[in-house]
Each structure stands twice: as C-alpha cells, then as structure tokens.
Structure 1
Amino acid sequence: MKVRDLMTNEVITLKAKHTLQDAAKLMLDLNVGVIPVAEEGDKLRGIITDRDIVVRAVSKGADITKAKINDYMSPKLVSINPSESAEEAAKLMAEHQIRRLPVVEEGHMVGIISIGDLSVVDIHENEAAFALHDISTPARPQL
C-alpha cells in the first residue's frame, strides 16, 4: 500500500512567526500533538510538537504568548513522498524515532502520515509494530 492511500490529506499549518500559544491552542482544537510549519502556503519549513513546546520552551521559562514557533520548532525534517510504500514509512519512523512523517511532493506538503495510519494496514512482517517499538525505545539520558 502507498503512503498516498493512508495519509491525512487536509493538514492545517502555522507560520514560523506564530506564537507557541497559537500552536498549543491549535493542537488542543484539533486534538493533535504536532503542527507542520509552512510558508507560502504549503512549503514545509519545520514541525512544532507538544514536546517541543514543553521541553524546549516552557521548561526554560519562555513566555508562550510571545515566543515564536520559529525559535522552538524542529527544523530538521524527515519526510516521505506519497508514492513510497507503507513499509518505507514505517522504516523511516523507526529509524528516526518519530511517530509522524510529513508527506512532501515536489517541495510541497501534501499530507501527513502517522504510526496510527500504518497500524490499520497489513504491511510486511508487521512493520508498524516494529516501528512503534523502535520509536518508543527511549534514548539513554546523558549524564
């Protein structure tokens, strides 16, 4: 099965100039933990997660009503093309320990796929379960 058959097509984005509070409110309204950050409509620049907000900003005393997404988002993105297989998506998620992949075609975001999307299809050797295991294995803290 192809990523395009499983992905969520309608993805709401924010701009890097929005505040962390804007991101948190949108996450609450949409019941999601990640918001893609895009410019010029659908040109993906990064992703802001609920974890980014808490660990990178709130824990350090940032004022989320003024702090900009640009300063706390994850700019290094792993993405996938919609023509790739579900197996490839699971492999990338496991390798990079991420639960969601932006789906990008010709430089433009066309959707997002999550580990949950993969869990509903029968992919080779239950790669969604393997991916979830690898994603959920915590990194060792640096002492």
Structure 2
Amino acid sequence: MNQQLRNIMTSNVFTVKETQSIQEAAAIMSENNIGAVPVVNHSGQMTGIITDRDITLRSTAQGEAAQTPISEVMTAQKIVQGTPEMNVQQAAHMMAQQQIRRLPVVENGEIVGMVSLGDLAVEDQYNQQAEQTLTDISTPSSPQK
C-alpha cells in the first residue's frame, strides 16, 4: 500500500525549452491533451513549468503576443516536485498543501515523470486519497486586489 511514484507516474513527459514561444507550449498541450509542460534548459535540467492557466492569466489576459518566450510566463520559483522514490501518500499530501493538480517527478535535476490527480484517482487504493487531495486543492483562496 506504500507505492512509489515511479509505479504510477507518466514517464513519457513532453517538455519545452525556455526560449520556445507560449504558442508552441499551447500547441503541445492541445495536441497531447495535457495541461502542464515542464520547462527545461539546454542541458535538460528542469527550470520551471508552464500550465494552461499560466498561458491564460500571465499572457493572454495581459495582452501578450503568442510569440512571447515561455520564460516570461512560466512558474520558475518554488517549483514543487517529487522524486520517483516518494510514496503516493506523500505526493498527495504535497499536492494538497501546495494546491497543485500535477506534480513533476525529478531525478538528478531531470524530469523523469509526471503525476496528476487523475493518476491517483485511477488507482483504486488511492481513490479516496485523490478525492481528499482534490478537496484540499479546490479550497478557495482569497481574490487578489
């Protein structure tokens, strides 16, 4: 029952480089039906993550052009990440605490997988954990003024 992330994570992870455009990131998301893409540098080290929400709130809503570099809208500070050895309960707790729906799995600085709430929900033994995590993530935050 103490399963590691390496056993449930998606290991075929699409990535983008910091210098690519937000339009390219959005196209990858659209083509692959995903909502987040890890951002890597030229060495393959994870430097951030860009989500569909980042594109909407940090670029489209601000009137940024589709050719804006990903580095200008990605989340780069306090990137929450797991490790392949982390157990599912730890990951779910971290996701709930940080209010995130997707957790990059990193080993030696490189992205090796991704775990989403959906990954937790399809595992029968973690379905209740996923439900509680979603409840915690969905707790409303105060609107920004």
Structure 1 length normalisation: TM-score? 0.93
Could you list the runs of 5+ residues in structure 2 that have no partner in the other structure?
none
- Aligned sequence identity (%): 41
Q: CA deviation at 1:40?
A: 3.4
Q: Secondary structure at the match of 1:110?
A: strand
Cα deviation code 1:109-140 (max 9, x no counterpart):
111110110112213x9221111101112211
Task: Quote the residue 1:70 is aligned against.
Answer: 71
- CA distance in structure 2 between the aligned counterparts of 1:135 and 1:41, rounded to whole angstroms: 33
Q: CA deviation at 1:41?
A: 5.1
Cα deviation code 1:61-99 (max 9, x no counterpart):
1011x2000000001210011011000110010000000
- CA distance in structure 1 between the aligned counterparts of 2:138 and 2:7, rounded to whole angstroms: 25
Matching of residue 118 in structure 1 with residue 120 in structure 2:
yes
CA RMSD of aligned residues (A): 1.3
- CA distance in structure 2 between the aligned counterparts of 1:109 and 1:41, rounded to whole angstroms: 12
Q: Deviation above 6 Å: which 4+ runs of structure 1? A: none
Q: Secondary structure at the match of 1:75?
A: coil
Q: CA deviation at 1:107?
A: 1.5
Task: Quote the residue 1:105 is aligned against.
Answer: 107
Count of residues in Structure 1 that have an aligned counterpart in Structure 2: 141
Task: Quote the residue 1:129 is aligned against.
Answer: 131
Q: Secondary structure at the match of 2:113?
A: strand
Q: CA deviation at 1:142?
A: 3.1
Task: Quote the residue 1:35 is aligned against.
Answer: 37
- CA distance in structure 2 between the aligned counterparts of 1:25 and 1:140, rounded to whole angstroms: 31
Q: Secondary structure at the match of 1:84?
A: coil
Could you list the runs of 5+ residues in structure 1 that have no partner in the other structure?
none
Q: Secondary structure at the match of 1:60?
A: coil
